[in-house]
Structure 1
Amino acid sequence: MSRTYVKVIPTVALLLIAGFSVSAWLVYSTSLGTDYSKYTFPLWTIPEGSHMYTQLRVGDLNGDGLDDVVVTGDYSLEAVFQNRTGGFENRTQILPSGSWDGFVLEDLNGDGSLDICALNATHDGTYLVTLSNSGTGAFAVASQYLLGPIRHVFPYRSHGSDVPDVGVYLLGDHNHIVLLHNNGSGHLTPDVYLSLTARNILDVLAADLDGDNQDEIITVQDNGNLTVWSKSASSRQFSNVSRYLDTVQAKRSAWLVIADMNGDGIQDVGLASNIGASRGVLVFLSGDSINVEQPIIERYYDYTWLGALASDLDSDTDTDIVLCTQQTVLVMENSQSGQIGGEIKFTGFITPHSPSVIALAGHPSPALIVLAEHRGWYDLNLIDLVVFWREERGILP
């Protein structure tokens, strides 16, 4: 086990070339008046007084081979498309109305284009809305279901299925996870219900931890309990296969990530969580023995996390980790030795006029990391976009 306490001093370096295998990164910011901005383009604006719950997803929406960005806010679901010169353009409002509290970006009908499955909170409850992509980045509502108060939505892959199902976590008296079966054309119907005894689920995702081509469901509670739920391909019932109780309780917020951190070919479960004011922890548990009390990685930081991301950043086939704070992004290279090798690869890109990052997204490919940030201390209703590319990507001027 690796237990490390790290105190990182933020710097203002916007291009940091360290003695590791991560290549140089270029920073493109939408913040007006910033010296290092190469492109300036307003992404979107949230109306005054709105409750800002923002999520980002990255993927090729129009089939041109370039990663585009989808964003959600209280009042819109929007896309912005990357062009051949490394900028973004054609800001498009996919759906103009509703309170969009989360979404997944997946090919739901097997046509090779990324579709959207989004949560739309209304006075009647929360609708799960499926949007079909024409292949050009134009979306149309394919179906919607009223399921009650939903907090999380995630893709779930069943054994032998070419397209993902969709899972949702229902709050309140419902307190269960619902898997909606995908018939292959993107039509979703509620299929399997997983009742949860625990409440206050902070995050939930699905991943194949045992190599049987069937996803497990991982949940984390605010008290630190991390639970893995599994079922066989022929069964409709989930069983609680393991539970890890972190020694540090009272989690305030948490993010789950999946990565092979020790080179055994098995996906491990990572938990980045806040355990107090300006205090964060990063824990990785081995996917093949997640009930073991000793994590393979455990590090503490003088930071409050605002997001976590797993992505191969240096093209070595290992999944690296990105941790986001208000004014610093920490990138840890995965050496697959049971450790997170290296230190900060770049940091300090948040300017004094953009004090708070509110969302983080990336792509499994090593090309792109996107952040959403507040534009100013007093204009917290204005949102900008910050984009990171690897210099060697080839499309940059």
Structure 2
Amino acid sequence: MTTRLAVRAVAWSAALVCSAGAHAEGTIKIGEINSYKSQPAFLEPYKRGMELAIDEVNKAGGVGGKKLQLITRDDNANPGDTVRVAEELIAREKVDVLAGGFLSNTGMALTDFAKQKKFFYLATEPLTDKMVWSNGNAYTFRLRPSTYMQVSMLVEEALKLKKKRWALVYPNYEYGQSSVATFKAKMKAAQPDIEFVTEQATVQGKVDAGSVVQALADAKPDAIFNVLFATDLTKFVREGNTRGLFKDRPVVSVLSGEPEYLDALKSETPDGWIVTGYPVHTLKTPEHKAFYDAYQARYKDYPRQGSVVGYAGIKSLAEGIKKAGGTETEALVKAFEGLEVVSPFGKITWRAQDHQSTMGAFVGRLKKVKGKGELVDYVYRDGKDYLPSDEEVKKLRPNP
């Protein structure tokens, strides 16, 4: 009986192995981690963009005959939970790659995790420069234009204002801190007589808009550089409008032209702000029209910035896995270095020297159109024109 049971146990184990092998052979699992509960305005459209891309890839036969499967988890906007969920996705769900991240601190947690585990991670949204430079590693690639890139685009426009006294307002964590550091350094280098008359560093998601607006008004700046976003941005704009902070005072602002934030501002959108964003309703390039029409047909709604990021992230993974011939980590890393992908914003390249994609951003001005905010007078700034040279990257990225 013991022998018979042992034989059955071996047979059962073999069947399990075969079953798991058959599942693995037919599916490529993408483990995606994000702050869905804390940042729904951006991440609900983002998830839709991912799902649209997954369906397109799978309907076209998948990648190497394998279907893509998306497995999402919430990180509670907490670095510790982020790592715990990443470990669970790898150990229990047997995912082939990791993707996602919204906040810079959770993105950095995944970056460090990827390095320790030698596991491929595609950072879709986090904007911190550390991700690809000082803390960059072989296993992490980042899609969106970084704080350095987007602030550099805005500095070009800020300098044209010829304003001397600037006030700064930003969320007091990595994204806000690095944005302001880049703005100050670049503005000072180009305009040595510039003054920064006040800095208002707020707790992310908990801005005391009244106190911040009063402090800015008391400093009597000529212009304001803003890095607040999401609900903090809405509160800041509402209070600033009420108190006349923006009257005859230019504002330069990161991300504020993105539809997910303009949707919330509606008729409160301040006219004339110089921003980075996404002109969803007026961009008519072939790549964007195809994406827009497919998204509209599926969801009966227009895409947001998050939709573009989610879609381009999945398309990049599909192209990278195809080029690598599978999901083996080292092969995938090699495949991504120099990989070219067509996104809704046009062709992007994943740089070998720092693993940053060349996706760019639109720079323009805010304007109320039919009772809601739109990005107007915009130009597309190609990301490749706002990245450091190979020699500079060697200094910024000590561990290639």
Point out the structure with the larger helix share.
2
TM-score (norm 2): 0.28
Point out the structure with the larger strand share.
1
TM-score (norm 1): 0.28
Question: Which protein, 1 or 2, shows the higher relative CO under an 8 Å CA cutoff with sep ≥ 6?
Answer: 2
Which structure has the greater CA radius of gyration? 2
